Structure 1
Amino acid sequence: MILRALENSEFDMVDAVHRAAFASTSFGYQGEAELVRAIHADGDALVSLVAEVNGRIVGHALFSIMDVEADGGPLKAAGLAPVGVLPEMHGTGIGSALIVRGLELLRASGTQISFVLGHPDYYPRFGYSAQVASPFASPYSGPHFMALLLDKGVQLPESGRARYAPAFGTER
């Protein structure tokens, strides 16, 4: 498996991955392919990785810019969404590898915190926690809204707010 940056010529392949990945979930396809294109078009993609197996793109993960404030000051932040892997490749570690590599790249770029809205049994394996996200005001607060401090020098604030990139369509 090769993990690498998404190239501009590969959006159709990444669309197909997300359509297949999310069609197989209990909530069905939710527009993740369009979200990837919109985030890139807006210039809000921080890390956009594909997983390639035998020359075929089988997975994708995107971390985008977030507007985050902690105790009145800004934090350099990234939101993880979406992550998709072709259904026939589930359980092979591709999604995990994409997330781990993305987090490594974010740390290297000086990103201080990452947020995800996802399954509370899956994302804690990467260090995400609802407790870390709890001081940040968000319409998504609760057990599915999690954060991970990437910079060991950053302290958890008493209060803050977290908003996803405009392409998400709401003040997240």
Structure 2
Amino acid sequence: MPDTPVIRSARAEDAGAIDGVIRAAFAATAHGYQGEADLVRMIEADGDALVSLVADAGGAIAGHVLFSRMYGEADGAALSAAGLAPVAVSPDRQGRGIGDALIRAGLDALRDRGVAMSFVLGHAAYYPRFGYSPELGARFASPFAGPHFMAMMLDSGAAWPQGGRADYAPAFGRLGQDL
């Protein structure tokens, strides 16, 4: 299919299109919250973006995913971790597997970088398909702890830590303050 998007690293010149995709995608949700676009800009400005990918459909950005640096520890040792947030797909392209492809490509990129774990705060019915587990997430103290806080080992053969702490990049804490 000629308009099948290609997943690639985001570039500086994509910033406006990424912002538009995120705003359109979240405006289409029940809560209509727009903080996700601001969050991406703050994470990028702080230098905390680890993996930022777009779905490029012939020069038009159809989707975006961001994985940002997380700070924490697991079983008393420093933790190399990333947080997934947000993932967005243009409303006219949703339901075509673009979000799935972006997340999977992002997780592969994190593995290539040697990141040990990824965390997400999201729908418990959606994210386990990628390997995220609420049970693993519950082992970590976090300001976002709760039933929607999930984690995954990026090496599926690695043992789960017994516990630790996971903190998202500082932009997550500033989101409401900086707007």
Question: Normalised by the shorter chain, which TM-score bucket?
Answer: over 0.9
The alpha-carbon deviation at position 141 of structure 1 amounts to 1.8
For 1:143 and 1:89, the matched residues in 2 are separated by: 29
So what's the TM-score if we normalise by structure 2? 0.91
1:125-151 superposed Cα distances (whole Å, 9 cap, x missing partner) = 100010111110012222210001013
Alignment of 1:134-145 (within 5 A): 134-145=138-149
- For residue 12 of structure 1, what is the aligned residue in structure 2? 16
Amino acid at match of 1:121: A
Amino acid at match of 1:118: G
The alpha-carbon deviation at position 155 of structure 1 amounts to 2.5
1:53-112 superposed Cα distances (whole Å, 9 cap, x missing partner) = 122001000000000211111110000001000111110000000000000010011000
- For residue 84 of structure 1, what is the aligned residue in structure 2? 88
Amino acid at match of 2:161: P
SS in 2 for 1:32: helix
- For residue 61 of structure 1, what is the aligned residue in structure 2? 65
The alpha-carbon deviation at position 157 of structure 1 amounts to 2.1
For 1:49 and 1:152, the matched residues in 2 are separated by: 23
Amino acid at match of 2:73: E
| Correspondence for 1:165 among 166, 169, 173 | 169
Amino acid at match of 2:54: V
**Kept after mapping to 1: 8 A contact 2:74/2:163:** yes
| Correspondence for 1:102 among 89, 106, 130 | 106
The alpha-carbon deviation at position 10 of structure 1 amounts to 1.3
**Kept after mapping to 2: 8 A contact 1:110/1:151:** no
C-alpha RMSD of the superposition:
1.2
Runs (5+) with no aligned partner, structure 1: none
SS in 2 for 1:96: helix
The alpha-carbon deviation at position 48 of structure 1 amounts to 0.1
Moved more, 48-57 or 134-143: 134-143
The alpha-carbon deviation at position 152 of structure 1 amounts to 4.3
The alpha-carbon deviation at position 153 of structure 1 amounts to 5.9
Q: Percent identity?
A: 59
Amino acid at match of 1:22: F
For 1:108 and 1:158, the matched residues in 2 are separated by: 25
- For residue 177 of structure 2, what is the aligned residue in structure 1? none
So what's the TM-score if we normalise by structure 1? 0.95
1:7-30 superposed Cα distances (whole Å, 9 cap, x missing partner) = 111111100000000001111123
- For residue 46 of structure 1, what is the aligned residue in structure 2? 50
1:147-171 superposed Cα distances (whole Å, 9 cap, x missing partner) = 010134642222211100011126x
Deviating beyond 3 angstroms after TM superposition, the runs of 4 or more aligned structure 1 residues are none
